[in-house]
Structure 1
Amino acid sequence: MMMITDREAKGRGRASSRARLKLTGALLLLTVVFALLGGWQVQRLFWKLDLIARVEARVHAQPTPAPTRAEWNEISGEKDEYRRVTATGAFSHNKSVLVQAVTERGAGFWVLTPMLREDGSTVLINRGFVPSDRREVGDRAGGELAGNVTVTGLLRISEPGGAFLRSNDPAHDRWFSRDVVAIAAAKGLQDIAPYFIDADAAPNPGELPIGGLTIVRFRNSHLVYALTWFSLAIMSAAGAYLVYRQRIKAG
């Protein structure tokens, strides 16, 4: 039978005590980290709620004239996106692009058409949705408005690059996002606004394109994340207490 001396027993006891102390320290550190992360998520929650309230106010406000050339440098998504605006000018239908879309009406395309304004600048108008089987101009010719028109809608910020796993292909006129700069370059548009406008639900002749399908919705999971982090902090604190108490009992 193997005998354990008092010195060896004390040594093992001290090692076990140090291990428990280190584990307690690690758990306390995790408690602090998780609590900080929970606090950060609470801050994000209030920021998101404030953003939602501001956007809701913009969406339901009276429309104002779309920003002019002198205001373009001051536009930002945080303060301008989803503003209700109006724009007046003539459409250049021959330079329209179709951007793939999935809406409450199914799969199809957004029809983005340049509008030439009286000051010589151009703004892209998302005139609305057309189903896949009506993508050809001949199938929706009634909606090709001529002359000066006024459009009311929501100001939107450019969507560069493309969609998830799908890049815009200007060379083949395939578009997956409403990238103002890329569309302007592909269609030879000059002096173009750095935003586009989603037209409202005012009906077009021939009922196409269908406007007013913009979805204004923000994902807000910050409360769930905060509760998760705070729960982990409580569990870590409880674990630290239990380990430390065992260390005290062990002497």
Structure 2
Amino acid sequence: MRFLLRPGWIAFVVAVLAFVVACYTLLAPWQFDREAQRDAQNQQIAEADATAPVPFAELVPAGQGVSGDDVWRRVDLTGTFEPGSEAVARLRQSSGQPAYEILTPLRLADGRTVVVNRGSVFAGDRGEIPAYAPPPAGTVTVQGRLRTNETDPAARAPFTESGVRQVYAVDSREVAGITGLTTVEGIVALDQGQPGVLTPIPVAPPGGGAPFSNFSYALQWLTFGLVALVALGIFIRLELLQRRPDRDRPVSLRDQLAGRDGYAPEDTGPGGDAERHDQNTRSTT
């Protein structure tokens, strides 16, 4: 087993063990956590669907923002859209195609301003923002789902181009920063058929729609770790078999003395292997 102390074998064993540790302590638990999060989200959506809409102020009192416990809940809002303070969220997708999402502030009767996601529009042939229907004028009552703010991982700043305010995340704080409005923290995504809605933002169905759940991926990582350990054992065994002398095939005395076929005299001193073989040879002759 001394071959395991060679640099190449040490590096190989360390790499395999590191992969196994990663599978069992990082990758599989990560997928288990994602499965738990998805189950919790699906449960939250199912409970929201089974609950009748309530006034916005009931779930989001004055001075507060949208709570994570109330995400997906349906609410009614009455107010006036402010298209002059509209912003467009970039780099979105709708039905697998590039799209933009239209964020329009809605001023409520109590004076607060809520950022409403009116839905998405498909990007133009060259990626430009297409023309889309404006929100209705005057006082309207709309229904939508509560959402918390998104966060842009790259922390890209909003900007204005050709008179259009653009942001990289559906975030009321970004809209407030680029428009100068004071907005409620959180978003309301309009439901299908509501005044001013475009292509509504889809809601993930309970149970999810992925062909393989995160739980299956977690089991795969556990299996990969086990396979890596078994493979390591097989490679070590093969190396041992290659290094073991072949004792099944008869070996002539001449080959033994010459050290061929896995036999080599280890002691050339008095009484050693070499001397005993010399004596055997003389007695035979």
Bin for the TM-score computed over the shorter chain? 0.5 to 0.7
Q: Does 1:69 align with 2:62?
A: yes
The amino acid that maps onto 1:236 is A
Larger radius of gyration, structure 1 or 2?
2
Q: Which residue of 1 aligns with 2:170?
A: 178
Alignment of 1:11-90 (within 5 A): 15-16=2-3, 18-19=5-6, 26=14, 27=16, 30-37=19-26, 39-40=28-29, 41-66=31-56, 67-72=60-65, 75-76=67-68, 79-90=69-80
Give the direction of change, closer, same or farther, for the CA distance of 1:169–1:239 in structure 2 (3 Å limit).
same
- On the 8 A contact 1:111/1:209 being kept in 2, the answer is no
Q: Does 1:201 align with 2:192?
A: yes
- On the 8 A contact 2:158/2:178 being kept in 1, the answer is no
1:74-96 CA distances to partner (integer Å, 9 max, x unpaired)? 723xx333222222222223322
Give the direction of change, closer, same or farther, for the CA distance of 1:30–1:202 in structure 2 (3 Å limit).
closer
CA RMSD of aligned residues (A): 3.8
The alpha-carbon deviation at position 180 of structure 1 amounts to 1.4
Give the direction of change, closer, same or farther, for the CA distance of 1:29–1:69 in structure 2 (3 Å limit).
same
- On the 8 A contact 2:28/2:217 being kept in 1, the answer is no
The alpha-carbon deviation at position 116 of structure 1 amounts to 1.7
- On the 8 A contact 1:111/1:126 being kept in 2, the answer is yes
Q: Which residue of 1 aligns with 2:148?
A: 157
- On the 8 A contact 1:198/1:214 being kept in 2, the answer is no
Secondary structure of 1:235's counterpart equals: helix
The alpha-carbon deviation at position 223 of structure 1 amounts to 3.1
The amino acid that maps onto 2:2 is A
Give the direction of change, closer, same or farther, for the CA distance of 1:237–1:121 in structure 2 (3 Å limit).
same
- On the 8 A contact 2:28/2:219 being kept in 1, the answer is no
For residue 134 of structure 1, the aligned residue among 131, 135, 149 is 131
1:178-231 CA distances to partner (integer Å, 9 max, x unpaired)? 3312222322212x1011211111243xxx642534343777752343233222
The amino acid that maps onto 1:223 is F
**Matched residues in 2 for 1:81 and 1:62: separation?**
14
- On the 8 A contact 1:114/1:123 being kept in 2, the answer is yes
- On the 8 A contact 2:77/2:143 being kept in 1, the answer is yes
TM-score of the aligned structures, taking structure 2 as reference length: 0.61
Q: What is the total number of aligned residue pairs between the two structures?
A: 224
For residue 200 of structure 2, the aligned residue among 204, 212, 219 is 212
Q: Which runs of 5+ in 1 are unaligned?
A: 1-13
The alpha-carbon deviation at position 97 of structure 1 amounts to 2.9
Give the direction of change, closer, same or farther, for the CA distance of 1:231–1:212 in structure 2 (3 Å limit).
same
Q: Which residue of 1 aligns with 2:102?
A: 111
Q: Which residue of 2 aligns with 1:228?
A: 220
Q: Which runs of 5+ in 2 are unaligned?
A: 123-128, 245-285
The amino acid that maps onto 1:75 is S
Q: Which residue of 2 aligns with 1:168?
A: 158
The amino acid that maps onto 2:214 is H
Q: Which residue of 1 aligns with 2:247?
A: none
Secondary structure of 1:120's counterpart equals: coil
Give the direction of change, closer, same or farther, for the CA distance of 1:170–1:195 in structure 2 (3 Å limit).
farther
The amino acid that maps onto 1:121 is R
The alpha-carbon deviation at position 234 of structure 1 amounts to 1.8
Give the direction of change, closer, same or farther, for the CA distance of 1:203–1:157 in structure 2 (3 Å limit).
closer
- On the 8 A contact 1:153/1:197 being kept in 2, the answer is yes
If asked which structure has higher relative contact order (CA below 8 Å, sep 6+), I would say 1
